[in-house]
Structure 1
Amino acid sequence: MGWRVTDDVEEFWAAAAGFLAAHRVACTIELTIADTLRRRGPEAYGGPSTLAWWDDGVGASAVLVHTPRHRPVVSAMPPGAAVAWAAQWPCPHRVLGPATTVAELAAAWDATWTPVLTERLHRLAGLRLPADPTPTRLAGDADRDLLWVWLGEFHHQATPQDPPPQRAALDVAIDESRVVVAVPDGGPVAYASTSPVVLGTARIGPVYTRPEHRGRGHGAAVTAAAAQRAQARGADEVLLFTDLDNPTSNALYARLGFVGLVDLVDADLVPTAPTARKNV
């Protein structure tokens, strides 16, 4: 029993696929990261990644993934796993996971933790289309530069604490027909992107409407269209995250049929005593 660590995604997948399949909704981020590494190679995030699973003697019962530039992402952990991880690895600057797991890790590192962002994971229970939806279409080559600018705006407004987005990820999403734009008068005013379908799941995000076009249903239109496309590609679970401090987006997604499931905390960690720590 203990943590197994690798930078080989195929080794990780062979060991953790059963756990990820059984927890495919709660572990949507970890699942997407593993899939991206499998499809695009070990340099997809700019360098080797740390991929770990808790081996309880029967199989994996928890996972942790850490890609370059980003904070570690952790699943729920069984008793003893957080303490064992903290004994192996220095305290990072940030971590993302269920609040109970973040608290357990912080205690094991003798660190205080402060939420930077609390997000709620939603699943689509049954799509309710907008009454008068804005026309939408798939994004194409002519939209790439504009959407890259919009992605930067979204990052600045919604996730400034995160590393800047990568253009390659946007281009791949457009190439794979996973980006939808709202075109009320022929030109784009909003967009939504979805992840690839993995183990029957797909996650919508980001969803962005230019400030001057908000309040007119464009965000609802692209979200609904993205959900329909994900279902058409084989997703029986369509997911998305919302910032709990944004009541407008939470109400919007509820109207479309999304139901909240679990909250994840993106937290800063500060050791109470000087310790070695990773620059993450």
Structure 2
Amino acid sequence: MPPPPTTLTLVTDAAQAKAGLAGLIDRDPAALSVVASVIDGLVADPTRYTGPRWWLGADPSGDVVAAFMHTPPHPLHVAVATEETARDLAARLADAGDALPGVGGQRRPAEAFADEWVARTGVGSRVSMEIGSFDLPVAPQLPFEVSGRFRRASASDLGLVDRWNRAFVDAIEGGGRTPPSLALAVADGRVALWEDDGRPVSMAYASPANGGITRISGVWTPPELRRHGYASGVVAALSRERQDLGERCMLYTDLANPTSNAIYEAMGYRRVGDGVHITFSA
């Protein structure tokens, strides 16, 4: 017997999306981490993205069981969905003449969305990144000695923090986009620096916790300062601090980088899921 259909509702207001997804975020905070943190950012600053959209999928009882997000110019993000619901949304958007640069998120529904989108629009597609989802069930441990120390970034570090965050986004996305300032994250004490010999050498930041989970991201060491373990030091220290504050930590990694993935696993992170980014082309 096929599963009951899921009804998709489009939402364009961040506060309304936050309210509509609250139950699903509580039930599956890891899967909803990206969506929840983006919504929080938009509630605080509605100018962060132009034309954000969310689709909330409800089962026959009215419970929200699926979530998709699109914040142009990014690809559509599949947070939680069945393959059937992902195909349904792809058909709906393709038939309406929508334009998307790609899709990412949970592997199987993202792949189902891409298959339907390609079949209906005739565009090409390619996997641009395979992603591992990791959580941290233990206290993090550095597997080797790292010179230097951890500290929180302060307001005086904001220029450096924003430059490094821009470099991180350029490396991930290929350039062309200026990310929002991390001023609020710095003010909240969620941006960490690793210092060696009195100067910052690496950075990471933590998302606001939703459902008790924070996501470690923005891990960046300038190329000339790499191979000293600084990124490992800042990730381990920031993760430990967030755990001490009662939060659970997770992070996403590029599975094409086995070195960093092995370091995170040695630190105590464990791989718990797979995701994918798929790029569409004319």
Indicate yes or no: 2:56 matched with 1:53. yes
Runs of 4+ in structure 1 deviating by more than 4 angstroms, as ranges, are none
From 169, 172, 175, the equivalent of 1:155 is 169
Aligned partner of 2:84: which letter?
G
Alignment-derived partner of residue 18 in structure 2: 13
Q: Does 1:256 align with 2:276?
A: no
CA contact (8 A) 1:71 1:96 kept: yes
Q: Which residue of 2 aligns with 1:277?
A: none
Distance 1:42 1:191 in 2: 26
Kindly state the Cα deviation for residue 270 of structure 1 after the two structures are TM-superposed. 4.3
**Aligned mates of 1:206, 1:180 — CA distance in 2:** 10
Partner residue, 2:154: 140
In structure 2, which of residues 27, 30, 33 is the aligned counterpart of residue 28 of structure 1?
33
- The separation in 2 between residues aligned to 1:157 and 1:215, in whole angstroms, is 17
Q: Which residue of 2 aligns with 1:120?
A: 132
Name 2:218's counterpart in structure 1. Answer: 206
Superposed CA offset, 1:185-204 (max 9, x none): 11111111111111101001
Displacement, 1:153? 2.4
Equivalent position SS for 1:212: helix
Using the TM superposition, name which of 89-98 and 243-252 deviates more.
89-98
TM-aligned CA deviation for residue 156 of structure 1:
2.9
**Please, what is the CA RMSD of the aligned residues?**
2.0
Which deviations, in whole Å up to 9, do the C-alpha atoms of 1:202-223 show, x marking residues without a partner? 0011111122222222111110
- How many matched pairs? 266
Give runs of aligned pairs for residues 1-280 of structure 1, distance below 5 A. Answer: 1-38=6-43, 40-43=44-47, 45-58=48-61, 59-78=63-82, 80-90=84-94, 92-109=100-117, 110=119, 112-130=124-142, 132-133=145-146, 134-160=148-174, 163-166=177-180, 168=181, 170-235=182-247, 237-270=248-281
Amino acid at match of 1:87: A
CA contact (8 A) 1:197 1:233 kept: no
- Identical-residue share of aligned pairs (%): 26
Normalising to structure 1: TM-score of the pair?
0.87
Structure 2 unmatched ranges of 5 or more: 1-5
Distance across 1 between alignment mates of 2:239 and 2:8: 36
Evaluate the alpha carbon distance shift between residue 9 and residue 145 of structure 1 in structure 2; reply closer, same or farther with a 3 A threshold: closer
State the secondary structure of the residue aligned to 1:63: strand
| Alpha-carbon shift at residue 178 of structure 1 (Å) | 0.8
Shift of 1:155: 2.6
Contact between 2:149 and 2:194, CA under 8 Å: does it hold in 1?
Answer: yes
**Inter-partner Cα distance in structure 2 for 1:175 and 1:74:** 30
CA contact (8 A) 1:70 1:162 kept: no
* Partners of 2:243 and 2:176 in 1: CA distance: 29
Alpha-carbon distance change, 154 to 80 in structure 1, aligned in 2, over 3 angstroms: closer
- Normalised by the size of structure 2, how large is the TM-score? 0.86
- Find the aligned partners of 1:121 and 1:79 in 2 and give their Cα distance: 19
| Unpaired segments ≥5 residues, structure 1 | 272-280
Greater mean deviation of Cα atoms: 262-271 or 47-56: 262-271
